[in-house]
Structure 1
Amino acid sequence: VDGGGTKTETIVLDNRGIILGHSIAGPSNINIIGFNQAVKSIINSIRKSMDMSGIKKADIAILGLAGAGRKRIAKRFYRKLIKNCFLKNLKIFSDGYIALIAATRYSKGIMINSGTGIIVMGIDDKGKIERCSGWGYLIDDEGSGYWIGQKILNRVFRSFDGRDRPTALLKVVLNVFDAKDLDEVLIKVYSDKNFINRITSITKYVGDLWINDSIAREILEEAAEEMAIAISCVQKKLNIDCPDIYYLGGVFDIGKPLVDMLERKLKKYIAKFRLLKPMFKNVIGAGLIGLREIGINIDNYIICNIYDSGLKWGLIYE
């Protein structure tokens, strides 16, 4: 299970690595929707994927959940899920950890996952893991979708005041909030219970404007700089030479402009590296962890089976 701020995704695999079922349910980030609703989304997603696969019993369930990197939250999830879920052998990790394993497949490397929130994690050749950023939208999450969206709102309102330059982002904000003016945007921002996802949704439009709009370009440049700083911190903690750095998450749907900016910023901090898109989507990381937990070696046979069956379910990055 991969549980995040926008959706909860589940797969069922057999011991050969063949994906038998796949489902998507609502979000399960407790910081956004609350604990009880998060649990409902997780159970719903598990049931749907089990029904689809025709499997009645599983050897193990691996859950990668937003916020579960904190032991107190992971224990709370465990107690609630054991009580309400038909699966009894559960192991809970952070959503960042399963994304790291999906990207690196247990080889040394660094992963940056920027969606609604952001996390950077790395693993060395001895299995040591380090992380940076990802403390939530109220504290940091620089370079995340919410952070970029909030920056856009800030610069648009500053422009309206005359404290900043005119920007084409004004039209984007009005369209996203279906508003005729900024007064209406303000009302909707402070009254929308789903304001985090709404503000995050602004981010996808900035990539279309960065060439001709200096404010859009500055926001992207700042996001790329923050990402590079976080990645370099993990690289220093692990002392990895020439790391493979995997980028993923909805923010990178902005496309090549952001990836190019990130690569340029990284060169200030890391002499040699490869910036790569991962092969597998995050939920497959949970599958790899589960297979390993029940004693199955993650060899080329397993990887090929996951890849071939994952294509059917849209779980492979092109």
Structure 2
Amino acid sequence: MATFVIGADGGGTKTELVLVDVTGNLVSKTRVASTNYQAMGGQKVRQELLTGIGRLLKKSNIPASKIDHLFFGLAGAGRKRDQEEVRALFNDTEYKGKITVESDAIIALEGAFATEPGIIIISGTGAICFGKNEEGRVVRSGGWGYLLGDEGSGYSIGRSAIVAALQDFDGRGEKTELRQRITQNFNLNSIDEIIPLVYQNKIDRVKIANLAPLVFELAQRGDAKSEEIVRNTGRDLGLLAKAVAQKLNFAGEEIKVALIGSVFIQKETLVNNISKELYEISWNISINDPMFQPAYGAALMAMKNVRVEINEGLLANLKNSIQNFVDLN
């Protein structure tokens, strides 16, 4: 009889869980609240994951004894100690010994390339890059937060836009439509009114990051300062990927890159400058969307942990079942 695995993608706002059989058929999926280990704490993480698992089993009418492995990719669980603590939360359940815990970035990497080597660049409010080589070595670049890094992120784009607008106001920077548009965006009378709002955190880093689409819009309309910010963003993201490629000794080899996150809604304006940095490592570059979402990356890793071969047939089955899935519950 068929056996099953569960994959979970635990982010800062929600957690996606999927139940997949070991031939690649999506059986059930559900969503629960955040399971960020650092932000929510162990008991909340346990409660949400058990709720999600229970829903999956109830919707599919599958007993817990049929679950071979569970793979949780959780925000805030990047350290080995954190992973051990999360596993221990389930020692009094029937899933003891069947659980693997990793960071949410790792399952995004595994899903993007269906557990094969490659590099992911993640850019939303923040930015980080991960890569894996044929030997399974995983390295990272960036992700040091908005105070110490996050170059290439939505926040970095928004901050650069505000700086450009203020420099225009001062007369020490070139004229830019950003000044008027940001003033309107925050219902200000003058752009200098933004200063106390930022320092008092009334305009926080998320609101600053949300200026990114405006910058892309003005760049497409020919605003020189916005074009410069977009070019610099592509370069910074390319530098993240180049650092990872160098650490993984990808020089001269095919480099597969997947782009993840809200900033890449405008990926056409970024790809050339990302590629320009990577061409210093190899001319054989491919930049694409992820093959699978992170929760399915977790499910694939669960399969590998019980020695299921991840072959083309299984991946085709998984892709088709995701596309054709109808949730009747």
TM norm structure 2: 0.80
- Aligned residue number for residue 136 of structure 1: 145
- Displacement of 1:285: 0.8
CA shift in 2, pair 1:154/1:313, >3 Å:
farther
How far residue 165 of structure 1 moved from its aligned partner, in angstroms, is 2.8
- Equivalent position of 2:15 in the other structure: 8
Aligned to 1:145: 154
Bigger Rg, which one: 2
CA shift, 1:252, in A, is 0.5
Q: Is the CA contact 2:238–2:274 (under 8 Å) kept in the aligned structure 1?
A: yes
Contact 2:108-2:297 at 8 Å conserved across structures: yes
What amino acid maps onto 2:83 in structure 1? A
Q: Which residue of 1 aligns with 2:275?
A: 263
Q: Name the amino acid aligned to 2:226.
A: A
Change (3 A) 1:141 1:70: farther
Distance 1:149 1:313 in 2: 38
Structure 1 residues 258 and 158, CA gap change in structure 2 (3 angstroms): same
Aligned with 2:226 (options 211, 216, 224) = 216
Give 1:68's aligned residue.
Answer: 77
Whether 1:292 aligns to 2:308 is no
Q: Which residue of 2 aligns with 1:248?
A: 260
Deviation per CA, 1:259-303: give whole Å up to 9, x if none. 233223433443332222222122211111011112211112210
Distance 1:135 1:188, change over 3 A: closer
SS class of match (2:200): helix
Structure 2 distance, partners of 1:153, 1:28, is: 33
Q: CA deviation at 1:27?
A: 4.4
Q: 1:175 to 1:56 in 2, by over 3 A?
A: farther
Extract unaligned runs of 5+ from structure 2. Answer: 1-7
Tell me, which stretches of 5 or more residues in structure 1 are unaligned? none
Q: Structure 2 matches for 1:1-318, cutoff 5 A?
A: 1-29=8-36, 35=41, 39=45, 45-46=52-53, 48-57=55-64, 58-79=67-88, 81-82=89-90, 87-88=95-96, 89-170=98-179, 172-174=181-183, 177=186, 182=191, 183=193, 186-187=196-197, 190-192=200-202, 195-211=204-220, 212-240=222-250, 241-312=253-324
Give 4+ residue runs of structure 1 displaced > 6 Å after superposition. 83-86
Q: 1:38 to 1:150 in 2, by over 3 A?
A: farther
CA deviation vs aligned residue, 1:203-258 (integer Å, no higher than 9, x gap): 23322221312222222212211111121121112212121222222211123112
Displacement of 1:307 after TM fit?
0.1
Deviations for 1:47-94, whole angstroms, at most 9, x for unmatched residues?
554554444523322111223222344344445x53898854322111
Specify whether residues 163 and 25 from structure 1 end up closer, same or farther in structure 2 by C-alpha distance, changes over 3 A only. Answer: farther
Q: 1:53 to 1:167 in 2, by over 3 A?
A: farther
The answer to whether the Cα contact below 8 Å between 1:99 and 1:113 also exists between their aligned partners in 2 is no
**C-alpha contact (below 8 Å) 2:37/2:74 kept by paired residues:** no
Please give the alpha-carbon distance, in whole angstroms, between the structure 2 residues aligned to 1:210 and 1:66. 33
Q: Do 2:37 and 2:75's aligned partners in 1 also have CA atoms closer than 8 Å?
A: yes
C-alpha distance in structure 1 between counterparts of 2:151 and 2:68, whole Å: 38
- The one-letter code matched in structure 2 to 1:137 is Y
Task: Indicate if the aligned counterparts of 1:224 and 1:258 stay in contact, CA closer than 8 A.
Answer: yes
Amino acid at match of 2:269: P
Count residues with an aligned counterpart.
311
Deviation at 1:99, TM superposition (A): 1.4
Instruction: Determine the C-alpha separation between the residues in 1 that align with 2:86 and 2:214.
Output: 35
The CA RMSD measured in Å over matched residues stands at 3.2
Q: 1:242 to 1:51 in 2, by over 3 A?
A: same
Cα distance in 2 for residues equivalent to 1:199 and 1:53: 42
Q: How far off is 1:123 after superposition?
A: 1.8
Checking the alignment, whether the CA contact within 8 Å between 1:28 and 1:41 is kept in structure 2 is yes
Q: Which residue of 1 aligns with 2:4?
A: none
Distance in structure 1 (CA, Å) of the matches to 2:34 and 2:72:
14
Residue 3 of structure 1 deviates from its aligned partner by 2.4
Q: How many Å separate the matches in 1 of 2:204 and 2:44?
A: 17
Identity %: 29
CA deviation map 1:34-56 (0-9, x unaligned):
54797366566555545544445
**Deviation, structure 1 residue 155:** 2.8
